Amino acid sequence: MTESTRPMRRQDIRRENEKAILLAAEKVFAEAGFGGATMQLIADLAGLPKANLHY
């Protein structure tokens, strides 16, 4: 299997999720401020379930 055709490993998926969460959090905090940012807003923007933010 080549690099481009191999299935994503858990470690790869985790890294991608971390990137998505951090980018989403940065945007939510910039737009809503500390008091207006919620876990749900970050999860929605990242395209992940809210539970994924805890892991």
pLDDT over 80 at 2, yes or no:
no
d(CA 42, CA 6): 30
Which 8-state DSSP code applies to residue 6?
Answer: S
> pLDDT, tens digit, for every residue of 9-37?
999 999 999 999 999 999 999 999 999 99
Structure tokens at 6: 């191999």
Which 8-state DSSP code applies to residue 48?
Answer: S
Structure tokens at 20: 């998505």
- pTM for this prediction: 0.81
Q: What would you report as the CA-atom Rg of the chain, rounded to the nearest whole angstrom? A: 14
Q: Does the domain at residues 10-53 carry the CATH identifier 1.10.10.60?
A: yes
- Return the domain boundaries, the chain: 10-53
Q: How confident is residue 55, by pLDDT bands cut at 50, 70 and 90?
A: confident
pLDDT for res 1: 53
